[in-house]
Structure 1
């Protein structure tokens, strides 16, 4: 079995192929220093992604499902569960608490994300406004990005969703954050070591090792945890804005 083929195998399948069990597979991986199969797949995935053309990866992914829709469902939901477990295993309560504290004290919270991560950033902004927090999403990139960066000031906190590509947009964003003395929380899969000294907090949202599940999925979980952390830390404001929102809806006839 090649490393690429391993990406699409479950612990149950590996147990069957080795005539052992899924529990034996997991224990063996732990003996080798991995938390579990999800961590091993993450380690394998990056070289495969870097060295293999996208169309070859797409063929491998589709062929791994064997054209069997129940199997597709099983593979996708299993990977989802594995990614969540991997994120839980690596969770840092100190980093999470620090991120929530920064958001609570912010003049304005500024979520930023590109491509699929923009959806997560927009979701975070939407929910924070419902909690009575001043928030705006940076929607632009390229030539239009500097206009949005002008609005970042001391006392603001940027929540940067960047799974693994260090684009010039992110470099310029972080430089602006440092220049004005704003705070920054980075939500990433791969850039923790590279950017840890440029931000205040790093929260890990693991990649999909196969492409079967969206890379922004775990970032959305982190965003929801940040939202609920802010809500739980300021109950009165949360309740007040919930009441105000409901009153406005009633005035609209809803």
Structure 2
């Protein structure tokens, strides 16, 4: 399914470059890294100058611009100049080092907090709100919602499901990949299937979404790689970002943060759209559980 590409706003350029870096070739990654590190200096260069600075070719620079969502290098330069102006105005966070094995805990806390905040900001800046609106509308009207994910992504899926259930939306998040496929076989038009996978290529997540897609369900992909295999079976793609990886901070940690933001946005949108039935359902679920949170009486 072909989707028109909208160039990212200047503030989202760095976020998109960081998000797509793992899917780029080494030479394209050098170009992207140079753009993020020095947008003002890069904006001042011709396509030939940037190619020379990064040790690549003019064709690589142009390809990088297009992967980032710009028709050509001229449009990318304009966005770089705007990004440089935003940074000069003090709206860009400082860059911190990766977590080291001998870092004291206060330093770990500070670095994690910075990276989590950056990850959330990048995801918010790059999120396609048109696709989000479409996903919200589909879930709000769904007869049933299935959510697929493995490992940390399944935990995010479980989080979304328990929220949807509290507002009266029938939802499931099978942890077993075989059960996910057998569930997907039962989906039809009017149902929704949501796949959560950072890589976009996890077979146990792609497969049930493919089955759901082929059976007529509306499909949504929450992924860090919109161009990955998951995209061909998704009616709507919600892209996530990832903070810097290190030996002590694998992708599963940082991707979970951005995935939670996306599913929370999806849930709030559904709750807003279905407020007349969601509010009583929330109240009823609260009343059903409130006694479990009450202080136990003193047995004496």
TM over 0.5: yes
Q: What's the CA shift for 1:145?
A: 4.2
Alignment of 1:1-254 (within 5 A): 35-36=13-14, 39-42=16-19, 44=21, 62-63=99-100, 66-141=102-177, 143-192=178-227, 194-211=229-246, 212=249, 213-249=253-289, 254=294
How far apart are the structure 1 equivalents of 2:258 and 2:187?
26
RMSD over aligned CA atoms reads 3.0
Alignment deviations for residues 143-200 of structure 1 (CA, whole Å, 9 cap, x no partner): 5543333333332101110110513323421321122100111000013464434211
Q: Verify the 8 A CA contact 1:45 1:210 in the aligned structure 2.
A: no
- Taking a change above 3 Å as real, the CA distance of residues 42 and 191 of structure 1, as seen in their structure-2 partners, is closer
Q: Verify the 8 A CA contact 2:120 2:258 in the aligned structure 1.
A: yes
Aligned length: 211
Unmatched tracts of structure 1, length 5 or more: 1-29, 49-59
Q: Verify the 8 A CA contact 2:143 2:191 in the aligned structure 1.
A: yes
How far apart are the structure 2 equivalents of 1:42 and 1:180?
31
Unmatched tracts of structure 2, length 5 or more: 1-8, 26-96, 295-300
TM-score of the pair, normalised by structure 1: 0.72
Please tell me whether Structure 1 or Structure 2 has the larger radius of gyration of its CA atoms: 2
How far apart are the structure 2 equivalents of 1:204 and 1:45?
14
TM-score of the pair, normalised by structure 2: 0.61
